[in-house]
Amino acid sequence: MAWIHEGDLNGEGLRVAIVLGRFNSFITERLLEGAMDCLERHGVDTDDIDVFRVPGAWEIAPVARKLSLADEHDAIICLGAVIRGDTPHFEYVAAESAKGVAAVAMSSDVPVVYGIVTADTVDQAIDRAGAKSGNRGFDAAMTALELAALYGYIEEGDGDEEEEEDGGAAEQK
Domains of the chain, by residue range, sit at 17-155
Mean pLDDT by 10 residues, the chain (173 residues): 91 98 97 98 98 98 98 98 92 96 97 97 94 91 97 77 51 58
β-bridge pairing 112-119 and 75-83:
parallel
Classify domain 17-155 by CATH number.
Answer: 3.40.50.960
Catalytic residues: 89
pLDDT for residue 164: 44
Q: Are 64 and 76 in contact (CB under 8 A)?
A: yes
- Please tell me the distance from the alpha carbon of residue 161 to that of residue 54, in angstroms, as a whole number: 42
Instruction: Give pTM, 2 decimals.
Output: 0.89
